[in-house]
Amino acid sequence: MHIPDGYLSPATCAALYAGASPFWYVSVRRVRRALHTRLVPLLSLFAAFSFVVMMFNIPLPGGTTGHAVGIGLAASTIGPWASILAISVALVIQAIFFGDGGITAIGANCLNMAVVGSLTAWAVCGLISRRAPLSSPRRAVAAGIGGYVGINAAALAAALELGAQPLLYHDAAGAPLYCPYPWGIAIPAMMAGHLLVAGVAEFALSAGVVAFLQRTDPGLLQGASGTAQEAGAAESRSAQRTLRPLWLVLAVLMLLTPLGILASGTAWGEWSASEFADASARQQIAAASLGQPPPAQPPHGLARLSTIWTAPWAGYAPGFVQSAAVGYLLSAMFGVGLVVLISLGVGGLLRARRSHGPGKTVHP
């Protein structure tokens, strides 16, 4: 679901950056208004959770792979606006440092997974868990269903964006310039794996961790609406608790990330330009695309834009490490460290702006 560089036209990328920007703006304002002592570490924790979870590739029908995102977990715990920021931080770091998703497509990937996914998961979760006590099993189920619907809504948004490219952008002979597959292939190819497998993984992750929180720190679940009042209520009830169990779960997941490379195959719509000319890869692309073979050569625009950025640790494979498993683990550790530092930095900046904002009196 991480759209690479070259699969969307520059105009589409610009439009999707513009589409994501208002949600980033509102998220920053909402999070700053709800800022309290626990929200900053929570933002970094769930951004790191999302980063790590997306490294666990899962085999999907057609020989491709997919992954959970942590949408339902973040939206049902820290609310939709903080979830948008947390998942966006993870996606930006993946694109810049690991080449997982394109630089030009950051707006698209954030709009799909962080915005559409978070808001959908939050709405579904809120509808199902309405008036349920914090300890009710219905809350865990609601988080799971919210995550399932949210990740499939994100996948559908990506499929619509990819499938629109050959209809809107092609050369004089009708050859696609960017993603070569229209909606009739992009939608079923993308949705089959997410409805049947990746969505189930998202359900299990979201429901499982929320059930864990119900036993260890139920106050965290109170602030899921993202309002300052509820966040403050969650803070007062949970002030004496610790986030250590969740950090421990994150550490265990990080150590297990090498399992994520056991699943072979490329995610649908994430093939490199060179794979369009490789006979074996072409067979895999056709098998994953309802039997429709790809173009004989990579689309011109795709090939041109695919080299716009070279990530330092592309494919989570540092060049100085021989072992793929060790490289993947080091990438996870480095990425989590970056996610935490940037999230804490964003939170600290928001807190500073809040304390020095209009109408605030600062005393020495």
DSSP state letters, 147-177: HHHHHHHHHHHHHHHHHHHHHH-B-TT--BS
Lowest mean pLDDT among 27-31, 164-168, 312-316: 27-31
Whole-prediction pTM: 0.91
Place of tokens 């990579």: 298
Domains of the chain: 10-353 (1.10.1760.20)
Place of tokens 């007062």: 236
3-state secondary structure (DSSP) of residue 66: strand
The answer to whether 87 touches 95, Cβ cutoff 8 Å, is no
H-type helices in the chain, by residue range? 10-33, 39-53, 71-78, 80-98, 106-109, 118-129, 137-168, 183-193, 199-216, 228-238, 244-255, 279-288, 300-305, 324-355
Angle at 12 between CA 10 and CA 17, to 5 degrees: 95
pLDDT tens string 280-327: 999 999 999 999 999 999 999 999 999 999 999 999 999 999 999 999
pLDDT tens string 89-138: 999 999 999 999 999 999 999 999 999 999 999 999 999 998 888 889 99
pLDDT tens string 61-89: 888 999 999 999 999 999 999 999 999 99
Strand partners, 176: 170
DSSP state of 59: E
| CA distances (Å), origin 223, targets 93, 210, 327, 359 | 26, 13, 37, 26
Q: Which two tokens stand for residue 22?
A: 């208002």
The answer to whether 5 touches 104, Cβ cutoff 8 Å, is yes
| Cα–Cα distance, 189 to 194 (Å, whole number) | 9
The answer to whether 216 touches 243, Cβ cutoff 8 Å, is no
Residues 6+ apart with CB under 8 A from 187: 156, 159, 160, 163
pLDDT of 235 > 60? The answer is: no
